[in-house]
Amino acid sequence: MDTLAPAPSPQPPAASTPAISVPATVPAPAGEILIDIDQVDFFYGASQALHNISLQIQDKKVTAFIGPSGCGKSTLLRCLNRMNDLIDGTRVARGSIKIRGIDIHRPDVDVIELRKRVGMVFQKSNPFPKSIYENITYGLKLQGVRNQARLDEVVESSLRGAALWDEVKDRLHTSGLGLSGGQQQRLCIARAIAVEPEVILMDEPCSALDPVATAKVEELIQTLRARFTIVIVTHNMQQAARCSDKTAFFYMGKLIEYADTRNIFMNPANPQTEAYVSGRFG
């Protein structure tokens, strides 16, 4: 953890960019509320994708979003690092999303800084067509880190963090696209953790992977939960049950139920949730 402490300089003073984070060396106690989603309505143009979502995501926990396709779980996930800004005509019409108390839609919030703090792993693994080494150092180089020794160190620690080091340590300078599907996805996770985010958003990270690769990623999530807050969208209910602490069930853009994973699967309060997790619909 210490070796990954943020680079000394490029942090601007807290006044100009509202600090979304506390320094990584002072970990917040697990379970504290990190992301507070409050009555959010979200629109793609004229069609409403999210209805009045309120949800609190706890620090250093794994939170899973489940629900049938088109239920808004990915949309909500992409709201958390404002990736929806890239899509024309999208807007958060009501409500707020606060990370450590700061509303991320406030005009003085730097979206670049936000995305450094809230990393993302995509459904389709997207290693850049560069070497494995360059993939990992991409984010750091953007931040102006040029120190070779430090880059080497981060590459190793990130790849170890993503349980990929032993498989690729002899081929760091070959293309990231030469890896297998599961390795590519773990490379993307390594790339995300290399910039030391607080939160990692995972958008169906295993949907394109075979069961063995999926198991490895799930194992990885178990080790990452100690250092990062993880929000994972999944279609796979067993996956949510296996690796999450809290689960939110969405249906038709509404949050139906949000509780401890054990309760959602063993003892759901809502009949719709019960029907979904037992496989009777969806």
Partner 1 sequence: MSALTTHPFQTRASVAHRSETAIFWLFRGATYFVLLCGAVVFLNIFVKGSRTVFQTKAPFVNTTFFTDSPESLYVFQWEGQKREMGDKEFRAFKETHPAAANVKAESYVYCAGGIFPCIVGTVLLVVGSMTIALTLGVCAAVYLNEYARDGTFIRFVRLAILNLAGVPSIVFGLFGFGMFVIFFGWNVSLLAGWFTLAFMVLPVVITASEESLKAVPKGFREGSLALGATKWQTIRKNVVPYALPGILTSSILGIARVAGETAPIMFTAAYVVRDKLPWQVDHFSDFFFQGVMALPYHIYVVSSKIPQNEYTERVQYGTAFVFLLIVALIAAASILLRSRLRNRYKW
Nearer to partner 1, 187 or 264 (CB): 187
**Which residues, 6 or more positions from 103, have their beta carbon under 8 angstroms from its beta carbon?**
96, 97, 109
What's the chain's length in residues?
A: 282
Nearer to partner 1, 168 or 192 (CB): 192
- Determine contact, residues 21/110, Cβ cutoff 8 Å: no
Can you give the binding site for partner 1, defined by CB under 8 A? 81, 83, 86, 88, 112-113, 115-116, 119-120, 122, 124, 126-130, 138-139, 142-143, 175, 177, 188, 191-192, 195
Q: How far is the CB of 249 from partner 1 (least distance, A)?
A: 26
Nearer to partner 1, 143 or 236 (CB): 143
Q: How far is the CB of 127 from partner 1 (least distance, A)?
A: 8
Nearer to partner 1, 97 or 237 (CB): 97
Bridge-partner residues for 63, per DSSP?
A: 231, 246
Nearer to partner 1, 106 or 262 (CB): 106
Burial of 203-228, coded b for 16+ CB within 10 Å and e otherwise, reads bbbbeebeeebbebbbebbeebbebb
Q: Cα–Cα distances in Å, from 18 out to 9, 12, 84, 196, 256?
A: 17, 10, 21, 18, 33
**Which residues, 6 or more positions from 112, have their beta carbon under 8 angstroms from its beta carbon?**
none
Q: How far is the CB of 124 from partner 1 (least distance, A)?
A: 6
Nearer to partner 1, 53 or 192 (CB): 192
If you search the block for the tokens 């490379």, which residue do you land on? 187
> Please, what is the end-to-end C-alpha distance for the chain in angstroms?
41
Q: How far is the CB of 83 from partner 1 (least distance, A)?
A: 7
Q: How far is the CB of 178 from partner 1 (least distance, A)?
A: 10
Q: How far is the CB of 54 from partner 1 (least distance, A)?
A: 25
